[in-house]
A and B are shown apart, each in its own frame.
Chain A
């Protein structure tokens, strides 16, 4: 242990602990800006500087390891003056249109300004001197360089967590900026729209593209019938933006709030998640049969999941030779969209051209996905508007709804039923677990051999997880799988996806089925989730997801009554002609820059 003094208080810490963390241990708060728990140390904003006895300069507490006998002061006049200067300097480069900014009151620079830089401005405004660019090219997010404070959180996120590096630092000195390859628009580079950078941006430089006004317009248009679907991960995170601690399940309140906002029908993406299991599970079994029994060498295995649009765009850019390995299933959002304007419209006797389909997602990539030209199987845009968890919170606030005191409500019927299997789609490993719960039962006629259906090996925060399920006692139709060992792997965060893809590329991945989610932790850690998101918060949300699953009566996708009904009434069977028309898709190869 290392002993040091911070503000004359003794503290002992493990070797390698930073001064910042040591101070935290003493409940001494040091302001930070470029620092983020998920990312490597940058030490470039300098807001966290402190005085170290004997040092020639102040030191950045985030980047300075605690050392034996060190004496630190965090709040001297020297420190305060430097911090004030630093915040003042940042403000001169930053277009401070705070009252109009989407991040108003949720901006780390603004908070620091409140603490350190109130009153008269000291320095000269530099915003005019810079020819700042606002990039609105992506359907998922906006990049406004005039609000960028060059903390490089986004750059570190894109390279460290996602292995994408769509954005990087360009130029030096006064001209330094965060840029893309050849300064191309974000829609024309390798960006996966995952929004992890958006989630970590301390200011309004990176924000999701909002469609709140369009959704309000639709709600208030008497001609329109507005249906809304909510993704599994939203219900365990929305509360954070409305006054709850991380990990609070607010499903019933959220449904009621959506009804109060004026949506005509509040439905559940969980329904189409269950449907995805039926379609994707069947697809996997068919692929296995063709490969193992028929000896068809053209069948692409391992099969990859296709629920995560960030992952889809990643593989389209980086590993297009493996596009045939992707499940052809659309994501639950898009399955829902295609059915809303066909099956639902028919059942409710509504002209599909009058339906506006809205989805609430933990994700920014879903906005891009909804815009893909492939996603118009209903003859219309299947999903019209995608809102993030954060945007829904904004709408709830705009409508003056007292969320904490709201009664709980249930989803509406037709495509509103869900199972625990669908809920866990929101966490890494969840799709795999849901698929195994159903596929194992189809093949063997028995439940998966895990206590209380909890397939624990596929759960948790490890970057790459793997599991093997031995298939025994098959029913007659699946006898060819008798004794087979189904090998599966799970990766979350694209940096881990890349690890698996490297193995697959090298022919060293002996798996049948791989689940990949673009975001750390899966959808619970999505780019559209409340800010901040970090490891502890992801863990809390994950716990809430599994608790939601345990509380469900139905926990296996094939038992969802709405799913059973839709096959009976409309789709016929999984992977039927109709299913392929509406629920399956294809992918495109993209440039790798």
Chain B
């Protein structure tokens, strides 16, 4: 690690000849491509961190003649905007990553599910997709990509809700199992990968998995694009090597008065100043899909929490009880405590509720509401009560 524990990397936006990488990949066997991913230790960049190689391996193992590769470009987590930047600057690598994933799992079709608010990117993306299809054709390979637009629902970033949305249904998470690798979009085996994951896969093929493993830690290989926002003099997109602590991060991006960093957006964790040094950003510490929001001492953590809970009460799909009602209860509960209408000890009941939501909600959304709630309430209790 250089630069005070913070190492800037240029992998995702690196200019390369995608065609060359594809030719290289298409010469490999499916198993070889998957082995590259397994060797690299790449974990999904959307936030959940499922090993990409395993996901491809499971999907490849399904006997179905029809499979899909879906690119999750619904980027809805508050505070992330890296996929927008990636699609804007290197969409060719995104499309290339889908073709490589398609080759690995045995899919001839790919679907990009694009966040509704990014519709303005579409005309440009369509032109780039056209030339991508031409290029694929020139190589003599058969792979087709289409775009589907989201309509602004946060829940549609959840993989199975996203499939429902593509199928024209109400965006609600499905019961699992079956997992997408067995039954995904149109009930076909599907590998659904984040925009950044697919680009990283291209770069792993380009540089080789060894090159990738030299970055990061045992649990968090490689580098990652971070969306930095909040109280920082330098907001924006930064690709950084994984393994740094929050302290390293704050040293670089803080304004000198940082009291907390929300890692991973509304569904992520709030790290208070006293834990900056001991908290690693990565799967061994606090995982993130890229959202890094800094708060300085001028911010009320009650307002921060209220904002997140308000968001969840609105963006829960509403189908399962723990999430639909739980979010409303957490929101109303902290309001009552703040106003002095409920005793401060009521926060203990709400903490227990957050625990129930974590284990009883149907999908990742409801299960992760408790992350922000518990980490903010336990670290900034006095700000919630008084």
- Interfacial residues, chain A to chain B (CB-CB below 8 A): 41-47, 49, 56-58, 60, 63-65, 78, 81-82, 85-86, 89-90, 92-93, 122-124, 126, 129, 149-150, 152, 168-169, 171-176
Contacts and interface: CB of A to CB of B under 8 A. Distances in A.
Interface stretch (B197-205, B270-278, B312-320): B312-320
Contact of B175 (A45, A60, A89, A90): A60
B210 interface: no
Contacts of A58: 359-360
5 contacts: A57-B361, A89-B353, A129-B332, A174-B324, A175-B314
Given A41-B175, A89-B326, A150-B324, A174 B313 contact: yes
Given A57-B358, A92-B329, A149-B321, 15 more contacts: A44-B320, A44-B321, A46-B322, A81-B352, A82-B360, A85-B353, A86-B356, A89-B329, A123-B333, A126-B328, A150-B319, A173-B318, A176-B316, A176-B317, A176-B324
A223 B226 CA distance: 83
Q: Which of A58, A65, A152: most chain B Cβ within 10 A?
A: A58
Contact of A46 (B315, B349, B360): B360
Given A43-B362, A124-B336, A173-B318, A85 B352 contact: yes
B360 A173 contact: no
Given A46-B360, A124-B336, A173 B321 contact: no
A150 B318 contact: yes
B316 A90 contact: no
Contacts of B326: 89
A176 B359 CA distance: 22
Interface residues of B, number: 37
Contacts of B312: 173
Contacts of A169: 170, 172, 318-319
A545 B62 CA distance: 49
B177 to A, nearest CB: 7
B86 interface: no
A173 B358 CA distance: 17
B327 A173 contact: yes
Contact of A89 (B172, B321, B367): B321
A57, A60, A90, A174 pick with most chain B CB within 10 angstroms: A174
Contacts of B149: none
Interface in B297-350: 312-322, 324-329, 332-333, 336, 342, 349
Contact of A173 (B313, B322, B336, B349): B313
Given A126-B332, A129-B328, A85 B322 contact: yes
A126 B314 contact: no
A122 B329 CA distance: 10
Nearest to B364: A57
Interface in B170-193: 170, 172, 175, 177
Contact of A81 (B314, B318, B356): B356
Nearest to B170: A169
A122 B348 CA distance: 11
Contacts of B314: 172-175
B155 interface: yes
Contacts of A60: 175, 362
B9 interface: no
Contacts of A81: 352, 356
B175 A173 contact: no
Contact of A174 (B175, B316, B320, B353): B316
B362 A85 contact: no
A149 B318 CA distance: 11
Contacts of B353: 85, 89, 123
> Ordered nearest first, which 10 A-B pairs have the shortest CB separation?
A176-B318, A63-B175, A89-B325, A85-B356, A173-B316, A44-B319, A43-B175, A82-B360, A57-B359, A173-B314
A555 B84 CA distance: 75
B329 A174 contact: no
A65 B325 contact: no
Contact of B349 (A43, A64, A122): A122
B322 A86 contact: yes
A124 to B, nearest CB: 5
B153 interface: yes
Given A86-B321, A172-B316, A46 B328 contact: no
A124 B327 CA distance: 12
Interface in B270-303: none
A124 B333 contact: yes
Contacts of B360: 46, 49, 57-58, 82, 85-86
B361 A46 contact: yes
Contact of A123 (B317, B319, B327, B329): B329
Contacts of B313: 173-174
Residue of B320, B326, B349 ringed by the most chain A CB atoms within 10 A: B320
Interface string B84-124: 00000000000000000000000000000000000000000
B319 A152 contact: yes
Given A46-B362, A86-B356, A173-B313, A126 B325 contact: yes
A42 B170 CA distance: 14
A175 B332 contact: no
Contacts of B336: 124
Nearest to B320: A44
Contacts of A172: 153, 155, 314-318
A43 B177 CA distance: 12
Contacts of B325: 89-90, 92-93, 126
B8 to A, nearest CB: 34
Nearest to B342: A124
- Best-buried of A49, A82, A172 by chain B (most CB within 10 Å): A172
A172 B314 CA distance: 7
Nearest to B313: A174
Given A129-B332, A173-B327, A78 B359 contact: yes
A332 B139 CA distance: 73
Contacts of A149: 321
A295 to B, nearest CB: 47
A579 B333 CA distance: 67
Interface in B351-385: 352-353, 356, 358-362, 367
Contacts of B342: 124
Contacts of B319: 42, 44, 150, 152, 169, 176
Contacts of A65: 177
Contacts of A152: 319
Contacts of A85: 322, 352-353, 356, 360
Nearest to A57: B359
A462 B305 CA distance: 55
A47 B325 CA distance: 13
A64 B176 CA distance: 7
A185 B39 CA distance: 60
Contacts of A89: 321-322, 325-326, 329, 353
Nearest to A87: B321
B177 A64 contact: yes
Nearest to B317: A172
A173 B326 CA distance: 10
A171 B318 contact: yes
Contacts of B327: 173-174
